Amino acid sequence: MKILKVKMKNFKLMWKAVSILMFAVFLITSCQKEEVTSPTASTQQNETIESFNKLFTNGTIDQIFEEVKSSFSFENIADYTGETFDNDQVNETLAALGKPEMDFQKYTSEYQSILANDNATNKDLISFLYRYGFYTSSQLFHLEKILDSFIEARTQQEFNEDLSVLSSKFKNDSSLNDFDINTLALVVKVLGIYNIDEEYIFGEQRGACWDCMKDKKKKIWGWGAVTFLILLIGCILLSLPLTLLLTVGCIIGATSWGSIVGICTHCFNACSWC
């Protein structure tokens, strides 16, 4: 735990390094403002997608998430969320992936509104995600199935069994390219951080804040994972060339930040650190 706290104390330094790397990688695209269809932008997009897909073919992504799982602690989730994320950085990543630009403040605000509505369903979240164009309609079909399973599952084993079937379905969907499939695989890996079994997630934790988080955990963790996935993809693409440690720390911060929106929306009065 002491090592993890040192990691998070260096989070600002990490983001400065990521910012420098971002500037170097996307200098031509951001300065020249070329069309996405131009040779330079097209080449950059292909290289970015290829580098992302390669992580899934060579097993690097598994190594990353083994480190994330061993470092992440629900006990200290509030400690991981001291950083905000630069909207320009997010949009540089989206441009490199050939995805539409986002107003991230508006995106977060709209997500909070859906989250605050106790009557909102997975379909409401899927409709929200569709409007922003990061996911394809085929991806969202599978995402909804994954979220339904996550929310309805009573145990981690039950969810794992469903996930095995659901993963097989999206991996064999001919309407999805490799990037789309690997993005869904990344959702699965993020959800894998959150064990549904209460004993695992909350352990010996006590208090009103943790009680509230336990009651709302599936929507908070599940919706947070898919809604802020672009942050995780940015972390992976930008910090991996530096060190594995930075990638792990960035993923933990981004995942926690996505979850903290849900925690502070549903449990503001119960959690003093919101």
Burial 109-133 (b: 16+ CB within 10 A, else e): eebeebbeeeeeebeebbebbeebe
The predicted-structure confidence for 97-116, as pLDDT tens digits, reads as follows 888 888 888 888 899 899 88
**In a 10 Å sphere around its CB, with 0-12 CB exposed, 13-18 middle and 19+ buried, how is residue 162 labelled?**
middle
Residue 205 pLDDT > 50 = yes
Give, to the nearest 10 degrees, the angle between helix 178-191 and helix 208-227: 170
Q: What is the pLDDT of residue 94?
A: 86
Minimum mean pLDDT among 37-46, 69-78, 178-187, 200-209: which range?
200-209
For 37, list phi and psi in degrees, rounded to 5. -85, -5
High-pLDDT (> 90) share of the chain, %? 24
Q: What is the pLDDT of residue 240?
A: 64
Contact (CB, 8 A) for 28 and 40? yes
Minimum mean pLDDT among 28-37, 145-154, 202-211: which range?
28-37
Higher per-residue confidence, 1 vs 69: 69
Contact (CB, 8 A) for 167 and 150? no
Among residues 98, 90, 102, the alpha carbon closest in space to that of 49 is found at 98
Please state, rounded to an integer, the average pLDDT across all residues of the chain: 77
For 228, list phi and psi in degrees, rounded to 5. -110, 25
Query: To which residue do tokens 């064990």 refer?
Result: 195
Q: How far apart are CA 52 and CA 108, in angstroms?
A: 25
DSSP, residue by residue, 188-233: HHHHTTS-SSHHHHHTT--SHHHHHHHHHHHHHHHHHHHHTHHHHH
Task: Return the H-helix or E-strand segment holding 70.
Answer: helix 60-71
C-alpha distances in angstroms, 173 versus 10, 167, 176, 178, 238? 41, 10, 6, 10, 29
The predicted-structure confidence for 1-21, as pLDDT tens digits, reads as follows 433 343 344 434 443 443 433
Q: What is the pLDDT of residue 26?
A: 36
Rounded mean pLDDT, 66-79: 80
Burial 183-222 (b: 16+ CB within 10 A, else e): bbebbbbbbbbbbbeeeebbeeeeeebbebbeebbbbbbb
Sign of CA pseudo-dihedral 109, 110, 111, 112: positive
Contact (CB, 8 A) for 14 and 249? yes
pLDDT grade, residue 199 (50/70/90)?
Answer: low
Per-residue DSSP letter, 34: -
User: Cα 231–236–241 angle (5° rounding)?
Assistant: 140
Residue 212 pLDDT > 90 = no
The whole model's pTM is what? Answer: 0.78
Per-residue DSSP letter, 267: S
The predicted-structure confidence for 244-262, as pLDDT tens digits, reads as follows 777 887 788 777 777 788 8
Q: How far apart are CA 145 and CA 166, in angstroms?
A: 7
CB atoms within 10 A of CB 161: 13
Q: What is the pLDDT of residue 2?
A: 38
